[in-house]
């Protein structure tokens, strides 16, 4: 039976200092995750949550607000005793980078609280704020000496998005590394908190049967899909300056790609795993402008229907430019220049307002080399796919051909399915539990290192540049509630392939 983080050791005493404590992420995911850790007895015995807001909020108001959030977003029934134990650790702190003295005051306040709670000066600073506040806050923490490790540990958790392009990611890395060393930075990508995603490593490297065929000799191509049914909703301003490519590809889709495509690390430790992931991302071929346009599709949704709901045009959303060319759908064909993957295309697609919510990696194996069963109708034959999915169900599926019972040789495609929920009784989680727990025990294997972040941006930058230059030319539209723009099908059809059906 699995119950969240497998390592059952309690973290060191520490303070969990969260900036953006009044925000959505704190209420929706961070506090429910801390609650789940508390319920599993995986928080330190000496613990403090310092909830930082720019405007003064009393301790009682902060605790009430976090409790309301917990009631709304908890992934399991809330046990009042556990919730009260967690909320008793919460202290509200006021600090704003516009008022540097507030950070000096915060340092003194933290010192006092830590004396009382016995957290020994270990601090996790979680930046749950808009990205433009990451660096100013880190600079204030640096100026006031709060990032200095002096027989204690000090860690900085940085939320996504980490940069908006290659240049800004490089700058953010360089500036943060003036304040802390790499081992203190935890660049979070919540996809890595998902069990199925972590299981890709186990599937590949703890089993003898898959790795020998995990290469260009046996794999025809790989499809990575992260599709959403939801439209852009009320996030028009953020989304219109971001788009599907920036929002999803260098982080989430590349996490999946790097786990599927990386070389076996020499050890299961942060250095080896992160190096192997970084290497494969840097092996993604850099396309020319013409190749980038040819090997990509971008689309924007127009009014349609998803289930029972009517969805309007993307361009009609508040704070979206009326002539916006921001894509709500992106599909790319990438190639990886190394011995394992030469000639194996990786097709990536992600979009909003589509017919289904699905996250999967589909690995298509090559056809059997000799068509022995000539009389079989081709459409009866299954394509040999291995599908690793996290949405709508977490599991792994194999598609292969089998003989239909009877006196003649008739062949039919069948599926062999493993679903997590059939084997393991895991409590529903937010996906942040393992990540927060790992930050507290100092294990950064699931966090992105500077080189991987930059390699990810490097790989998408040619597409960003080419699309910007092309403007409206080449931007497709698709009806909300469909599988996306038709040209995405052509991207594969050109190579004699097709996407797995979404519906």
Ligand X SMILES: NC(=O)c1ccc[n+]([C@@H]2O[C@H](COP(=O)([O-])OP(=O)(O)OC[C@H]3O[C@@H](n4cnc5c(N)ncnc54)[C@H](OP(=O)(O)O)[C@@H]3O)[C@@H](O)[C@H]2O)c1
- The set of catalytic residues is 252
Closest distance of CB 127 from ligand X, Å: 8
Round to whole Å and give the CA distance between 419 and 195. 12
Round to whole Å and give the CA distance between 369 and 334. 25
Closest CB to ligand X among residues 16, 214: 16
Closest distance of CB 137 from ligand X, Å: 6
Count of C-beta atoms within a 10 Å radius of residue 198 = 17
Residue 190 in contact with residue 161, Cβ under 8 Å? no
Count of chain residues binding ligand X (CB under 6 A): 21
Beta carbons within 8 Å of 29's beta carbon, 6+ residues apart: 73, 190, 430, 431, 432
Count of C-beta atoms within a 10 Å radius of residue 256 = 25
Round to whole Å and give the CA distance between 368 and 213. 13
Closest distance of CB 95 from ligand X, Å: 8
Q: What is the DSSP string of 304-327?
A: EEETTEEE--GGGSTTS-TT----
Terminal CA-CA length for the chain: 32
Choose, by CB under 6 A, the member of 10, 25, 198, 477 that binds ligand X: 25
Query: Could you give the 3-state DSSP secondary structure of residue 73?
Result: helix
Closest CB to ligand X among residues 11, 69: 69
What is the footprint of ligand X within residues 101-140 (CB under 6 A)? 128-131, 133
Closest distance of CB 138 from ligand X, Å: 11
Choose, by CB under 6 A, the member of 53, 141, 249, 270 that binds ligand X: 53
Q: Which residue is nearest to ligand X (CB)?
A: 23
Q: Which stretch binds ligand X (CB under 6 A): 18-26, 339-347, 352-360, 491-499?
A: 18-26
Q: Which stretch binds ligand X (CB under 6 A): 156-164, 415-423, 442-450, 474-482?
A: 156-164
Closest distance of CB 41 from ligand X, Å: 26
Q: Which stretch binds ligand X (CB under 6 A): 23-31, 83-91, 195-203, 340-348?
A: 23-31
Choose, by CB under 6 A, the member of 4, 11, 20, 69 that binds ligand X: 20
Choose, by CB under 6 A, the member of 4, 11, 17, 19 that binds ligand X: 19
Round to whole Å and give the CA distance between 465 and 461. 6
Run of H or E including 202? helix 195-205
Residue 97 in contact with residue 140, Cβ under 8 Å? yes
Q: Which stretch binds ligand X (CB under 6 A): 25-33, 66-74, 415-423, 426-434?
A: 25-33
Residue 22 in contact with residue 65, Cβ under 8 Å? yes
Round to whole Å and give the CA distance between 260 and 235. 31
Closest CB to ligand X among residues 254, 385: 254
Residue 466 in contact with residue 293, Cβ under 8 Å? yes
Choose, by CB under 6 A, the member of 85, 160, 170, 218 that binds ligand X: 160
Cα 161 to Cα 34, 412, 472: the distances in Å are 22, 45, 25
Q: Which two tokens stand for residue 194?
A: 């998902």
Closest distance of CB 159 from ligand X, Å: 4
Closest distance of CB 176 from ligand X, Å: 15
Q: Which stretch binds ligand X (CB under 6 A): 42-50, 72-80, 159-167, 288-296?
A: 159-167
Closest CB to ligand X among residues 25, 502: 25
What is the footprint of ligand X within residues 220-279 (CB under 6 A)? none
Sheet holding 154-158, edge to edge: 90-94, 47-53, 14-19, 123-127, 154-158, 185-187
Closest CB to ligand X among residues 91, 129: 129
Q: Which stretch binds ligand X (CB under 6 A): 51-59, 280-288, 314-322, 467-475?
A: 51-59
Beta carbons within 8 Å of 62's beta carbon, 6+ residues apart: 21, 51, 53, 90, 92
Round to whole Å and give the CA distance between 273 and 268. 6
Closest distance of CB 236 from ligand X, Å: 14
Closest distance of CB 135 from ligand X, Å: 10
**Closest C-alpha among 245, 244, 236 to residue 322:** 236
Choose, by CB under 6 A, the member of 3, 12, 28, 470 that binds ligand X: 28
Does 159 bind ligand X (CB under 6 A)? Our answer is yes
Choose, by CB under 6 A, the member of 54, 187, 252, 315 that binds ligand X: 54
What is the footprint of ligand X within residues 365-384 (CB under 6 A)? none
Closest CB to ligand X among residues 139, 315: 139
Cα 436 to Cα 24, 190, 332, 351, 387: the distances in Å are 17, 10, 32, 28, 28
Closest CB to ligand X among residues 24, 289: 24
Closest CB to ligand X among residues 188, 334: 188
Closest CB to ligand X among residues 55, 267: 55
Closest CB to ligand X among residues 97, 232: 97
Q: Which stretch binds ligand X (CB under 6 A): 14-22, 211-219, 293-301, 430-438?
A: 14-22
**Closest C-alpha among 56, 63, 53, 48 to residue 22:** 53
Q: Which two tokens stand for residue 370?
A: 């000799």
Site residues for ligand X per CB under 6 A: 19-20, 22-25, 28-29, 53-55, 97, 128-131, 133, 159-161, 190
């Amino acid at each position: 039976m699995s119950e969240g983080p497998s390592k059952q050791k309690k973290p060191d005493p520490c303070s969990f200092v969260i900036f953006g404590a009044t925000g959505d992420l704190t209420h929706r995911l961070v506090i429910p995750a801390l609650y789940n850790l508390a319920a599993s007895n995986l928080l330190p015995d000496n613990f403090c949550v310092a909830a930082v807001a720019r405007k003064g909020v009393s301790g009682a108001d902060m605790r009430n607000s976090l409790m309301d959030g917990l009631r709304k977003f908890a992934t399991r029934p809330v046990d009042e005793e556990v919730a009260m134990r967690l909320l008793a650790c919460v202290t509200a702190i006021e600090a704003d980078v516009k008022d540097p003295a507030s950070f000096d005051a915060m340092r003194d306040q933290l010192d006092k609280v830590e004396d009382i709670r016995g957290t020994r000066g270990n601090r996790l600073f979680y930046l749950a704020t808009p990205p433009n506040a990451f660096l100013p806050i880190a600079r204030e923490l640096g100026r006031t000496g709060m990032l200095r490790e002096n027989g204690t540990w000090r860690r900085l958790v940085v939320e996504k998005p980490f940069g908006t392009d290659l240049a800004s990611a490089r700058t953010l890395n360089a500036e943060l590394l003036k304040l802390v060393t790499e081992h203190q930075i935890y660049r979070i990508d919540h996809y890595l908190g998902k069990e199925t995603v972590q299981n890709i490593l186990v599937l590949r490297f703890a089993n003898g049967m898959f790795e020998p065929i995990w290469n260009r000799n046996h794999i025809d191509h790989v499809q990575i899909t992260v599709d959403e049914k939801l439209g852009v909703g009320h996030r028009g301003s953020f989304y219109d300056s971001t788009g599907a490519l920036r929002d999803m590809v260098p982080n989430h889709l590349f996490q999946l790609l790097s786990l599927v495509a990386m070389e076996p690390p020499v050890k299961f430790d942060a250095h080896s795993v992160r190096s192997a992931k970084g290497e494969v991302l840097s092996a993604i071929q850099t396309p020319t402008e013409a190749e980038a346009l040819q090997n990509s599709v971008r689309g924007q949704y127009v009014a349609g229907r998803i289930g029972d709901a009517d969805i309007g045009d993307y361009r009609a959303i508040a704070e979206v430019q009326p002539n916006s060319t921001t894509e709500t759908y992106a599909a790319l064909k990438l190639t990886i220049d190394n011995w394992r993957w030469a000639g194996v295309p990786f097709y990536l697609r992600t979009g909003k307002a589509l017919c289904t919510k699905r996250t999967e990696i589909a690995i298509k194996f090559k056809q059997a080399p000799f068509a022995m069963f000539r009389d079989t109708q081709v459409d009866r034959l299954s394509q040999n796919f291995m599908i690793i999915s996290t949405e709508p169900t977490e599991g792994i599926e194999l598609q292969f051909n089998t003989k239909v019972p009877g006196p003649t040789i008739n062949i039919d495609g069948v599926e062999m399915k493993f679903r997590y929920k059939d084997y393991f009784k895991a409590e529903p989680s937010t996906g942040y539990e393992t990540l927060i727990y790992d930050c507290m025990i100092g294990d950064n294997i699931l966090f992105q290192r500077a080189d991987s972040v930059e390699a990810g941006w490097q790989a998408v930058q040619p597409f960003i540049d080419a699309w910007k230059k092309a403007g409206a030319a080449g931007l497709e539209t698709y009806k909300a509630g469909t599988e996306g723009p038709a040209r995405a099908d052509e991207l594969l059809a050109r190579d004699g392939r097709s996407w797995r059906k979404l519906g």
